[in-house]
Chains A and B, each alone.
Chain A
């Protein structure tokens, strides 16, 4: 069972909201994000974390690994087909939700064209607001690698996003 200390548990609890957003930006689907978050917490609870580990960075790293495992094991987007919305009988809040999901889906389609490494780096820095140093620690690569991955990711997005937007 869990080998987390109370402090680690509390720190992880405080980080859950940010982790959930990170999961959403990786998966592009609310249901997948919830699954990924739950998998992350399960792994942390089962495997624990070193006493000297930074709980938030450790959790992001576990999350990143869980997502990569997920990508390798199955096609997430086939499991959760896109929500089909019938506009005639949908409550306003549901319409709003559907609109937000369409926007997420469109951006996710663009992010899907990046390599996994580029997407992770860009997500951590541009969406989560991590510094290059923090992202480097989470992804276990040098800061310079983060810098070049993000630059290449942005360059690719400039090239491909217009295509996605028009589709």
Chain B
């Protein structure tokens, strides 16, 4: 096999040969087993290399990088139809099982919030296992990472998660009622321009404390193991 033959095969694989050269090479391939075998080898290598790097998430851009390119005027737009950061909601566990869930802003005033109907997030929490790193892509472009699952003292299942959208990172806990998930604690995290979605920094200790405090006070025992969680997912959290 000459270097020239290797170059021909390589160009053939890349679609860089002209029609006459293709015809000529294909005639040779039909009569030269060694050439044909090398083409098979090259194709196999190409497939392996392509498959290795065309995995889900390979083209997922870290939110902080996307934010770097957003125009300053758009830099603060994170959740359309939702109030911007600096809000951390906490719901008393005793209210979780109630049909109406009250959210309180930091001012102490009750606030309605359309996160209660975050269908895409809840569908992901219903079916996706927890993970230590990486993200699951939602249909609307947001990314979610279920972190852990635990049984709450209110006799329901809860999941802590992180949610990334347009350079903003949110941390929350959703708990499952009879047939649906309800957000119980949500806080905005400031990942900062030099930060990483994998190494989030809380906007304030108070925000993080709300999530941590909720998990600490409402978890009935330790977080589920991977196998326990998988079994629950299979059973629809029943």
- Contact residues of A with B, CB < 8 Å? 6, 9, 12-13, 16-18, 20-21, 24-25, 30-31, 34, 37-38, 41-42, 45, 89-94, 97, 100, 103-104, 106-108, 111, 122, 125-127, 131-132, 147-148, 150-152, 154-155, 157-158, 161
Contact = CB atoms under 8 A, between A and B. Distances in A.
Interface stretch (B57-65, B98-106, B202-210): B57-65
A41 B59 contact: no
Contacts of A126: 14, 46, 49-50
B212 interface: no
Interface of B: 3, 6-7, 9-11, 13-14, 16, 38, 41-42, 45-46, 48-62, 64-66, 68-71, 128-134, 136, 196, 198, 225-226, 229-230
Contact of B42 (A13, A21, A100, A154): A154
Given A17-B61, A157-B45, A157-B49, 18 more contacts: A13-B70, A16-B65, A24-B58, A30-B57, A41-B68, A42-B68, A91-B129, A94-B130, A94-B131, A97-B131, A103-B51, A103-B55, A107-B53, A126-B49, A148-B7, A151-B6, A151-B9, A158-B45
Contacts of B69: 9, 12-13, 16, 41, 45
A161 B62 contact: no
Contacts of B68: 38, 41-42, 45
Q: Which are the 3 A-B pairs with shortest beta-carbon distances?
A: A17-B59, A91-B129, A107-B52
Nearest to A9: B69
Nearest to B47: A126
Contacts of A9: 69, 71
A91 B42 contact: no
A34 B196 contact: yes
Given A21-B58, A89-B226, A94-B132, A37 B16 contact: no
A20 B225 contact: no
A100 B55 contact: yes
9 contacts: A21-B58, A38-B64, A45-B68, A94-B130, A126-B14, A151-B9, A154-B13, A157-B45, A161-B45
B48 A161 contact: yes
B88 to A, nearest CB: 27
B41 A158 contact: yes
B58 A16 contact: no
A42 B46 CA distance: 32
Contacts of B129: 91-94
A131 B5 CA distance: 20
B117 to A, nearest CB: 25
